[in-house]
Amino acid sequence: MTTRSVILHGNNFDSNRGCQALRLTTQMILDRYLPNRSRLHANIFRNDDPQFYLHEPDPNSAGQLWETPCQGVPRFYFWGAPLVCSRYLGKFPRMKVHRALENATALIALGGDTLSYDYGFLATLLFLSPLDAAIRRKIPSVVWAASIGPFSERPKWEKRFTEVLKQVDLITVREPITQDYLESLGIRENTRKVSDPAFLLPVSPTQLSEDLEQALASGAIGINLAPLMKRYNKLSTSAWRNQALEMLAEVRRKTDCPIVLIPHVMMSAKIFPHNDDYGFMRKLLDALPPDARHDVFLYDARNDSSRQIKWVISQLRVFAGCRAHSTIAALSSGVPTFCIGYSIKSRGINLDIFGHERWVAHVSELTAGQLAERIQDLLQEEKAIRDHLSSFIPEYSQLAWKSGELLKELLTDKGQL
């Protein structure tokens, strides 16, 4: 094992099992193409989930690097946004990851959608800054299987980000909307199309309660409803909870199949207490009216890994979910899936797989009745959808390996291998 590490920057906590799925499958890809390189896991906050340390550790880890020991917003969020989005981006704010570049083989911007405004304008700066710093230091820089932008809401920022992205050595994109957007900005030569690494995630069986096993054996519908969606439908916490409750109740009334509620992000109260799927759906289940309560079950996935959750999802008849990687787990398992989206990633992946957006809708445009109708449509067209997925997904999943192949070619050309 060489001492110079690949820096994986931007991926979130393993408490978000989608982030864990990205981490695990990226490790698989790097094990194949860069087997002798260690990985430094870097982000804004420390990944202190037991999944990271105990259950699904990285055997090639060079450790962790994080910018602040406290959860919440780092102090440098609050100052100088116009400054750090100017030519000083990559110099300020001063970040620990900048110093780590001195001993890096490459910087890989991991996380899937960190280079967007989806998590706030200023968060975008903290994910673009290390890329610009790597460019300045002539360290190979890679954006990994990403959905990017759009940045047009702030034209001056878009111009600066375009300058940075044009200089990145390699950008692999996971869906066509991003590819088209980058091309519209004149970013073409360094861009390649791949698929999301999580399409490669292997499954691992887990022990379930007798009720859940019976529900799955009876052809259950899986549903993932996430508290994060209030950010994208511009509702208050209580208003989104009421709408989600109405959605679940309407699906129960309109279908005969058992329903399994499947959490995919389970943040502890010490980290992001308002971003916990399990707690959110526990409250929904408890609040269901009597006529909509029968045969609805909550899968307690808090101690299960992304591989185990994917195994449960693979046993479903159909699935509808808010979390993008819960829907990727379903699609990659051949399960007919409706995506309750909030950004370009779900739209783009659906365009890739189906060639249309019939099986995706923005959360702000979806009513309870419409969700129930779309799930009914999935059930009616189940065989045709499964046939399409079984023929399409195997080859599509293999595109995820291409990111590793392109990375190895880049590092060879740069004299890093």
pLDDT at 149: 96
Shortest CA distance to 85 belongs to which of 136, 155, 135? 155
Please name each of the domains of the chain with its CATH number: 5-200+397-413 (3.40.50.2000), 210-335+337-380 (3.40.50.2000)
pLDDT at 94: 84
- Residue 163 parent element (H or E): helix 155-167
Question: Can you give the pLDDT of all 417 residues of the chain as single tens digits?
Answer: 557 999 999 999 999 999 999 999 999 999 999 999 999 999 988 998 999 999 999 999 999 999 887 665 555 555 567 777 888 888 877 899 999 999 999 999 999 999 999 888 888 998 999 999 999 999 999 999 999 999 999 999 999 999 999 999 999 999 999 999 999 999 999 999 999 999 999 999 999 999 999 999 999 999 999 998 998 888 899 999 999 999 999 999 999 999 999 999 998 766 677 889 999 999 999 999 999 999 999 999 999 999 999 999 999 999 999 999 999 999 999 999 999 998 899 999 999 999 999 999 999 999 999 999 999 999 999 999 999 999 999 999 999 999 999 999 999 999 988
pLDDT at 286: 97
Query: Is the sign of the CA dihedral 260, 266, 272, 273 positive or negative?
Result: positive
pLDDT at 179: 98
> Counting every residue, how long is the chain?
417
The answer to whether 246 and 369 are in contact (CB under 8 A) is no
pTM above 0.75, yes or no: yes
Helix axes 324-332, 344-354, angle to 10 degrees: 20
Question: How far apart, in whole angstroms, are the C-alpha atoms of residue 409 and residue 401?
Answer: 13
